């Protein structure tokens, strides 16, 4: 069984497309059955599968980020489901351990056909390799070989099987969202793709039959005739393969545009006017005078410089100076310390520029590309939130289920090309193209994700409680959910100078929506890969938290009292001004 399995994998590596590789793997049942009858058993199944995963990991590293939806993704997922690989298979070591030298790092693998001897040698190499340090042969692509680039093939997101089997239920959920979705076109595209795949399999079977016929031809004339039919069939198959690839790509791109389905507990509503205020915490401060807005307080104290911010970068930019800059830094440090020391998060400091596939994974692309800044030449994208790089830390990985939940917190600047309405929030620092934020991200088991959402919300609330700022908890209705969220709660802090509630945190449960797009999974108790559920929430967003502090703690003489929890971060100072 092992020998046949490894030989099959060696052959799969030599094929030009994922579809071809999967067609080879689909035939594994019959091969295994025949192999068992012949007693062709070498290694234990677990050990063989471990080395098979090592080979997949090597191909993944050889292809760099371009191999994302290549054999490591599509073929790897298929093998996981087919063989139900147990928890003894460590995917992290499969991807990172050993000498991965299929190709130079960062250079894509070039698909090419190998002869049977090459495949057997490859299988034998894996079979002989020690399990802790696998030796993978170096495949050198032939000159002019066709390059396989998997980054252009979008990942699957909403499970197409759900749409096939429960189309009416999916339609009803989109109606709850108030989303206009042409589900019939998705179903039609899926049916067309499946029809083309069936046709491709039929042609391949015919090609195999012709190959045998050529070898058994009774005369040279009959042999030439069979060869001619085979050449014509090959041309037909190549044309169908191109059409099949395009149909697959079109369906995946269509699925990328579908929003997440709402959780059944989310209240139905048309827009933000029908959101539900769950509760209000803390007591709003009363003033014996008219409280000043932060733009007046900041200017008078010399801690917010609007004029120089505009001079440097244009409208909606500002400069924090002196105690203002230190106060913002104190807020960030307090939040990070609270989440790491009390709530158990691990702090990370990620890049603020990411590749396109990271934004596809979190649901920002392709739908919201107009709101993002990018370096078009290098195709780097500036993050709209730390959620993007932190979620993608585990893209294309299978986590150890015993480590869940995984919790990270990160502080980053954020960048958004907001279409700022004329006359709206034109004064102050409430809205801008660049802002700072502390973000919490959690990777959890599906069965407990809604309870995890409440815990995440509580962690964000703890920041406001520590700062002694009055706030309220608002549950989003279906009409005001984000594109990726299946449930969401906002925290809004009271700002007495502006006389309004300001959103400082959105805590969302994305279900498996992001995990499916980014291919983030874990192994359950039976060793079977499952998608994690991802959650994230601001903990908290600046500068609106800074606004609330300035306006809530202002004094009649124009000075600002520093909240007690921030004084250690401010060198013991009690006031600003």
Tell me which residues of the chain have a pLDDT lower than 50.
1-8, 11-154
Are the folds of 159-256 and 272-291+332-576 the same?
Answer: no
**Residue 147 forms beta bridges with which residues?**
110
Residue 303 and residue 321 in contact, taking contact as beta carbons nearer than 8 Å: yes
Q: Which one from 374, 417, 431, 567 is the annotated catalytic residue? A: 431
Both tokens of 36, joined, read 């068992």
503 labelled catalytic: yes
Residue 443 DSSP label: E
Question: Side by side, which strands form the sheet with 380-382?
Answer: 353-354, 380-382, 374-375
* C-alpha span between 336 and 345 (Å, rounded): 9
Tokens of 132: 């802790």
In the annotation, is 442 catalytic?
no
**Which residue bears the tokens 């799969």?**
12
Residue 90: per-residue pLDDT: 33
- How far, in whole angstroms, is CA 141 from its chain's centroid? 31
CATH for the 272-291+332-576 domain, from 3.40.1180.10, 3.30.930.10, 3.40.50.2300, 3.20.10.10: 3.30.930.10
Q: Which of 506, 516, 523, 538 is catalytic?
A: 506
Query: Cα–Cα distance between 156 and 519 in angstroms, integer?
Result: 9
417 classed as catalytic: no
Structure confidence at residue 42 (pLDDT): 37
Cβ atoms 100, 62 nearer than 8 A: yes
- Distances from the Cα of 117 to the Cα of 7, 24, 42, 569, angstroms: 10, 17, 19, 68
Catalytic residue among 316, 442, 517, 544: 544
Among candidate residues 132, 133, 137, 91, the one with its CA nearest the CA of residue 114? 137
Q: Which of 416, 442, 517, 523 is catalytic?
A: 416
Measured CA to CA, the distance from residue 536 to residue 531 in angstroms comes to 16
Distance of CA 512 to the CA centre of its chain: 10
Report the SS3 class of residue 452. helix
Contacts of 17 (CB under 8 A, 6+ apart): 111, 148, 241, 245
Record the tokens describing residue 387, joined without a space: 């959620």
Q: Which two tokens stand for residue 377?
A: 């030449």
Residue 223, Cβ density class (10 Å: 0-12 exposed, 13-18 middle, ≥19 buried)? middle
Query: Locate tokens 């739908």: which residue?
Result: 367
Enter the tokens of residue 70: 């290549």
Domains of the chain, by residue range, sit at 2-136, 159-256, 272-291+332-576
CATH number belonging to the domain at 159-256, selected among 1.10.10.10, 1.10.287.40, 3.40.50.261, 1.10.260.40: 1.10.287.40
Known catalytic residue: 544? Answer: yes
- Please enumerate in sequence order all residues whose Cβ is within 8 A of that of 119, keeping only pairs 6 or more positions apart, or say none: 7, 10, 11, 14
- The catalytic residue among 131, 206, 503, 567 is 503
Phi, psi of 412 (to 5 degrees): -150, 155
What's the pLDDT at 542?
94
H helices present in 216-322, as ranges: 220-256, 294-301, 306-313
pTM: 0.72
* Cβ partners under 8 Å of residue 457, min gap 6: 473, 489, 491, 507, 537
Instruction: Return d(Cα 456, Cα 441) in angstroms, integer.
Output: 9
Q: Strands across the sheet with 397-399, in order?
A: 397-399, 520-523, 529-531
Residue range 254-273, pLDDT digits in tens: 888 899 999 999 999 999 99
| Contact assessment for residue 135 and residue 127, using Cβ atoms and an 8 Å cutoff | no
């Amino acid at each position: 069984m092992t020998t046949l399995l490894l030989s099959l994998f060696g052959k799969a590596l030599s094929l030009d497309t994922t579809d071809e590789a999967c067609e080879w793997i689909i035939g594994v049942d019959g091969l295994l059955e025949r192999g068992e009858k012949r007693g062709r058993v070498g290694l234990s199944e677990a050990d063989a599968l471990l080395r098979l995963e090592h080979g997949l990991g090597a191909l993944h590293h050889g292809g760099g980020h371009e191999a994302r939806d290549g054999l490591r993704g599509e073929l790897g997922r298929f093998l996981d489901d087919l063989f139900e690989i147990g928890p003894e298979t460590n995917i992290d070591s499969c991807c990172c351990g050993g000498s991965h030298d299929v190709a130079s790092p960062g250079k894509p693998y070039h698909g090419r056909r190998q002869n049977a001897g090459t495949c057997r040698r490859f299988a034998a190499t894996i079979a002989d390799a020690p399990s802790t340090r696998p030796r993978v042969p170096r495949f050198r692509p032939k000159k002019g070989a066709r390059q396989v680039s998997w980054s252009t093939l979008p990942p699957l997101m909403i499970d197409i099987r759900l749409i096939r089997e429960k189309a009416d239920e999916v339609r009803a959920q989109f109606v709850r969202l108030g989303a206009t979705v042409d589900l019939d076109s998705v179903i039609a595209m899926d049916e067309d793709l499946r029809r083309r795949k069936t046709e491709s399999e039929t042609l391949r079977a015919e090609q195999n039959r012709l190959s045998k016929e050529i070898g058994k031809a009774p005369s040279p004339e009959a042999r030439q005739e069979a060869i001619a039919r085979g050449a014509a069939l090959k041309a037909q198959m190549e044309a169908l393969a191109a059409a099949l690839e395009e149909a697959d790509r079109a369906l995946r791109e269509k699925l990328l545009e579908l929003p997440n389905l709402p959780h059944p507990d989310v209240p139905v509503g048309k827009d933000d006017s029908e959101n539900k205020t769950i509760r209000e915490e803390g007591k709003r401060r009363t003033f014996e005078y008219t409280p000043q807005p932060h733009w007046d307080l900041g200017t008078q104290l010399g801690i917010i410089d609007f004029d120089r911010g505009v001079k440097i970068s244009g409208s909606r930019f500002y400069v924090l100076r002196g105690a203002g800059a230190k106060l913002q830094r104190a807020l960030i440090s307090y939040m990070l310390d609270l989440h790491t020391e009390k709530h158990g998060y691990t702090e990370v400091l990620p890049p603020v520029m990411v590749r396109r596939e990271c934004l596809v994974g979190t649901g920002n692309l392709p739908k919201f590309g107009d709101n993002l800044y990018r370096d078009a030449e290098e195709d780097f994208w500036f993050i709209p939130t730390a959620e993007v790089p932190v979620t993608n830390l585990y893209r294309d990985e299978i986590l150890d289920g015993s480590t869940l939940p995984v919790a990270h917190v990160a502080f980053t600047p954020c960048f958004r090309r907001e279409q700022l309405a004329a006359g709206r929030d034109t004064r102050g620092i409430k809205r801008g193209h660049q802002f700072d934020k502390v973000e919490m991200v959690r990777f959890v088991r599906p069965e407990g994700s809604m309870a995890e959402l409440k815990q995440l919300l509580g962690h964000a609330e703890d920041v406001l409680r520590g700062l002694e700022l009055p706030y309220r908890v608002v549950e989003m209705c279906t009409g005001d959910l984000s594109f990726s969220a299946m449930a969401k709660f906002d925290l809004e802090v009271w700002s007495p100078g502006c006389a309004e509630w300001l959103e400082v945190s959105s805590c969302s449960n994305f279900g498996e929506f992001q995990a499916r797009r980014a291919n983030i999974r874990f192994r359950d108790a039976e060793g079977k890969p499952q998608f994690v559920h991802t959650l994230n929430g601001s903990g908290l967003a600046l500068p609106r938290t800074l606004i609330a502090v300035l306006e809530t703690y202002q004094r009649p003489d124009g000075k600002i009292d520093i909240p007690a929890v921030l004084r250690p971060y401010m060198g013991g100072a009690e006031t600003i001004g």
